[in-house]
Amino acid sequence: KAGVTQTPRYLIKTRGQQVTLSCSPISGHRSVSWYQQTPGQGLQFLFEYFSETQRNKGNFPGRFSGRQFSNSRSEMNVSTLELGDSALYLCASSLGAGGTYEQYFGPGTRLTVT
Amino acid sequence: DAKTTQPPSMDCAEGRAANLPCNHSTISGNEYVYWYRQIHSQGPQYIIHGLKNNETNEMASLIITEDRKSSTLILPHATLRDTAVYYCIVRARYNTDKLIFGTGTRLQVFP
């Protein structure tokens, strides 16, 4: 079974631009979560989706948004990029929402903002 | 804030068992203990999880104390490829997949 895939793997953007990252969960998984990893803040939770509904959101500004489609694929968008948005963005998927279900991560998208 | 405390770093000789401790003294009855590892900025890799019983899989064993306030991840025969940052996470049992990562333990396996 294929793992979680994320596209693109690397991205370079300029301050002020916007970016869309994509995540395809493991087949059959309905829950998708997003995380940001930076050297200074570590791994931080962005938001999670289950059956197209946002269940939970982390402490990030409104410039960060996401959505989930009916096939469970998810996208996250960052508008008006800032230098501090440079990070590894990770997506994770699981069968359902809750600790009963193992959660698997993708390889991440490395975003560089110049 | 993370609900777990881990030593920042540990060393282990190749071929020996690596025992990584984790303190989660405020864990509730509705929370699992999960372990992930991250190798050099790849996506975190799921290792094992447990609620209150000890667990074993092909990668590792998880020993949870009877009071559930601490646990130990055991890699029975560490290899150089096990060098990574290991995260112990307390995860809610229901309704959310949110993981709160701490700073983890950097395990260095040496020849």
Q: Name the DSSP letter for residue A9.
A: S
Q: Are A21 and A6 in contact (CB under 8 A)?
A: yes
Angle at B88 between CA B56 and CA B26, to 5 degrees: 110
Give tens-digit pLDDT for B84-94: 999 999 998 88
Question: Does the pLDDT value for residue B40 go beyond 90?
Answer: no
User: Contacts of residue B102 in chain A, CB cutoff 8 Å?
Assistant: 42
Q: Is A94 on the interface with B (CB under 8 A)?
A: yes
pLDDT of B5 above 80 = yes
| Segments of chain A with pLDDT less than 70 | 1
Beta strand A87-94 pairing with A31-38: antiparallel
Task: Quickly count: other Cβ atoms within 10 Å of residue A56's Cβ.
Answer: 17
Q: How far apart are CA B18 and CA B75, in angstroms?
A: 5
pLDDT in tens, A98-107: 888 899 999 9
Mean pLDDT of B91-111: 91
Report the pLDDT value the prediction gives residue A10, as an integer from 0 to 100. Answer: 97
Q: Does A4 touch chain B (CB under 8 A)?
A: yes
Shortest distance between the Cα of B48 and any Cα of chain A, in A, equals 9
Contacts of A108 in chain B (CB under 8 A): 41-43
In chain B, whose CA is at the least distance from the CA of A87? B41
Confidence at residue A80, expressed as pLDDT on a 0 to 100 scale: 97
Of A33, A88, A94, the CB nearest to B41: A88
Chain A residue at shortest CA distance from B87: A43
Classified as helix, coil or strand, A37 is strand
The C-alpha atoms of residue A97 and residue A33 are separated, in whole angstroms, by 10
